[in-house]
């Protein structure tokens, strides 16, 4: 294992110092140009003097200090802010607004290019971009709205939400760009050029919010760390402010005691015979929980819980009894994003005893059974079956308890902040010549609060796979994007996993920047002796591992704990599960 030594730390410090000096020089050049242009303009733009403009420019430089795209940060805020503005909250709000404007430009571009596109795949990619840009704008605008309701010194009360939403906004932009793989024509180049600017500005806002305490310190302003839910305040101790009165009743109740709003039954014994009929009855943008009970049966439908459908609960008769199935796939011309049998977008979604399948088969390549974008979504005793790309844990915070996920290539993938507890990951027999990979995490920006985390799970194989495991090896994961993060904690790893543990994506891409860690695992496949020696393979302590548990990483006490679903907030006693 590659642990970080003092020599490497010193080298990194030197590199970071040089990078920091270079960044400051670049920013100084931008500031000089900005001030020069401002001085040549009419003195007193909106009543601003030369001194005020210089003071404002200095404030903008301070705001942009934590960002990776400093030149874009300084120039975009300077061009949009009042020239005498030095108030940090106003400048941060301007940073949000210029990012939103850039994403809206990308949305408009996707519509224009779609009309001109002749290649079918390009046209579909652009159509998906339109949808994804809407999601991206919505998360940015939600963040800006929430920011406006708080004093900046107390914004730590909602910093986890802001970082989650900003990361999701970036993920949607990246998904749009990914959709042009294999397309023809100039549309891809034009769209990616617009997306580059939008991504950089959104990344800058995320960096500012991630380092908000240091930003405020640079302005000599106070910053109050948020109170924990255990703080002695009866209003915060029981439920966070997003939980409505009716939702509290549901969250305190067991699944068995919930009365459904509607029932779906293929035999006609419910209000509806199809799931989509029931979904059409869901009220839009309501805080009240809407429960759909789906009786035993195989439902051949493509279902989407739209962005405007909040707090939907689906309950089946069992993961192998109530099954939603489809077979859309990339090989037959459907973009990966649209292959999902079931797609969940609306926030606060919960499912229990449901099965989700994509039966396209390994030869059809990407074929998603379940795509999840729902923030604070919970899946309990569910099963997702497919081959390549079975579960698309796309964005936001997600929790899976006692679920089974089966597949072959990258069968759990995406850029959400997701924790799996007590779940079973089942490797299936792939096509000849293929390798199986359990996870492919898609974190592209180093500030994103995202990762795939498996805790007390079992990684095993189906019966048909065991005889061919030496010829068709399986791996824990591979880095889909530059800052890919995956943690395998306190889990059973069977001998289906190759001793190398992890597989490169393409050459040496992301091998130094990913973050892959295994901690307190057990089983024949858990030995660390022959693991790959990339720089991105880390040895972590118990304290570090605790940071990536459900309580700390996805703020589980605020929403999972209240759901009635079994939930382990932190690590189990270290070594307690070893055989």
Cβ contact 91:81 at 8 Å: yes
**Helices and strands counted in the chain (H then E):** 13, 26
Q: Which helix (H) or strand (E) holds 291?
A: strand 290-294
Beta bridge mates, 452: 418, 486
Q: In what order do the strands lie in the sheet with 303-305?
A: 303-305, 342-344, 370-372, 391-393, 412-414, 436-441, 474-477
Whether the CB-CB separation of 148 and 167 falls below 8 Å is answered with no
The Cβ of residue 83 has, within 10 Å, a number of other Cβ atoms equal to 21
Unique residue bearing structure tokens 């497919």: 386
**Whole-angstrom Cα distance, residue 371 to residue 389?**
10
Q: Is 410 helix (H, G, I), strand (E, B) or coil?
A: coil
Alpha carbons 248 and 195: distance in angstroms, whole number: 40
Within 514-561, residue ranges assigned H as helices are: 542-546, 550-553
Q: In angstroms, how far apart are the furthest CA atoms of the chain?
A: 79
Please spell the DSSP secondary structure of 355-393, one letter per residue: EEEE-S-GGG-B--SEEE--TTEEEES-EEE-SBT-EEE
Give how far Cα 306 sits from Cα of 81, 200, 311, 314, Å.
Answer: 35, 28, 11, 14
**Is 385 one of the annotated active-site residues of the chain?**
no
Choose the catalytic residue: 161, 353, 375, 410. Answer: 410
Could you list the active site residues? 410
């Amino acid at each position: 294992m590659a642990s970080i030594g003092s020599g490497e730390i010193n080298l990194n410090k030197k590199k970071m110092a040089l990078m920091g000096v270079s960044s400051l020089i670049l920013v100084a050049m931008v500031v000089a140009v900005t001030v020069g242009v401002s001085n040549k303009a009419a003195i007193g733009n909106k009543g601003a003097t030369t001194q005020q403009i210089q003071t404002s420019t200095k404030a903008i430089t301070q705001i942009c200090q934590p960002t990776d795209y400093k030149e874009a940060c300084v120039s975009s805020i300077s061009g949009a802010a009042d020239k005498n503005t030095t108030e940090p909250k106003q400048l941060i709000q301007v940073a949000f607004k210029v990012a939103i404007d850039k994403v809206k430009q990308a949305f408009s571009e996707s519509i224009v290019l779609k009309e001109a596109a002749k290649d079918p795949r390009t046209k579909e990619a652009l159509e998906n971009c339109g949808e994804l840009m809407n999601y991206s704008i919505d998360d940015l605008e939600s963040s800006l709205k929430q920011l406006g309701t708080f004093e900046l010194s107390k914004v730590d009360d909602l910093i986890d939400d802001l970082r989650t939403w900003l990361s999701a906004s970036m993920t949607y932009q990246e998904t749009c760009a990914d959709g042009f793989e294999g397309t023809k024509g100039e549309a891809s180049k034009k769209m990616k050029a617009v997306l580059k600017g939008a991504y950089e500005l959104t990344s800058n806002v995320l960096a500012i919010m991630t380092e908000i305490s240091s930003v405020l310190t640079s302005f000599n302003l106070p910053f109050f760390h948020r109170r924990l839910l255990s703080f002695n305040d009866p209003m915060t101790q029981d439920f966070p402010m997003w939980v409505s009165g009716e939702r509290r009743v549901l969250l305190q109740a067991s699944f068995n005691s919930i009365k459904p709003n509607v029932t779906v039954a293929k035999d006609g014994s419910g209000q509806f015979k199809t799931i989509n009929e029931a979904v059409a009855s869901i009220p839009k943008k309501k805080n009240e929980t809407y429960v759909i009970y789906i009786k035993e049966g195989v439902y051949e439908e493509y279902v989407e819980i739209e962005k405007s459908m909040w707090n939907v609960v689906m309950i089946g008769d069992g993961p192998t009894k109530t099954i939603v199935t489809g077979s859309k796939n990339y090989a037959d011309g459907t973009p990966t994003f649209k292959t999902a049998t079931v797609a969940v977008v609306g926030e606060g979604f919960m499912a229990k005893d449901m099965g989700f399948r994509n039966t396209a088969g390994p030869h059809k390549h990407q074929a998603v059974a379940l795509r999840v974008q729902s923030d604070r979504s919970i899946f309990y005793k569910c099963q997702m079956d497919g081959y390549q790309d079975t579960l698309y844990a796309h964005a936001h915070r997600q929790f899976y308890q006692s679920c089974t996920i089966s597949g072959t290539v990258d069968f759990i993938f995406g850029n959400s902040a997701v924790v799996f507890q007590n779940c079973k990951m089942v490797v299936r027999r792939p096509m000849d010549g293929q390798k199986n990979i359990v996870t492919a995490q898609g974190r592209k920006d180093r500030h994103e609060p995202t990762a795939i985390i498996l805790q007390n799970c079992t990684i095993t194989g189906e019966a048909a796979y065991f005889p061919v495991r030496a010829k068709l090896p399986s791996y824990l994961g591979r880095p889909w994007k530059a800052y890919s993060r995956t943690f395998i904690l306190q889990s059973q790893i069977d001998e289906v996993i190759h001793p190398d543990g992890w597989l490169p994506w393409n050459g040496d891409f992301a091998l130094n920047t990913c973050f892959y860690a295994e901690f307190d695992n057990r089983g024949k496949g858990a030995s660390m002796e022959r693991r790959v020696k990339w720089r991105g393979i880390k040895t972590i302590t118990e304290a570090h591992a605790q940071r990536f548990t459900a309580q700390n990483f996805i703020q589980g006490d605020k929403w999972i704990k209240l759901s009635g679903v079994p939930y382990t907030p932190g690590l189990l006693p270290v070594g307690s599960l070893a055989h």
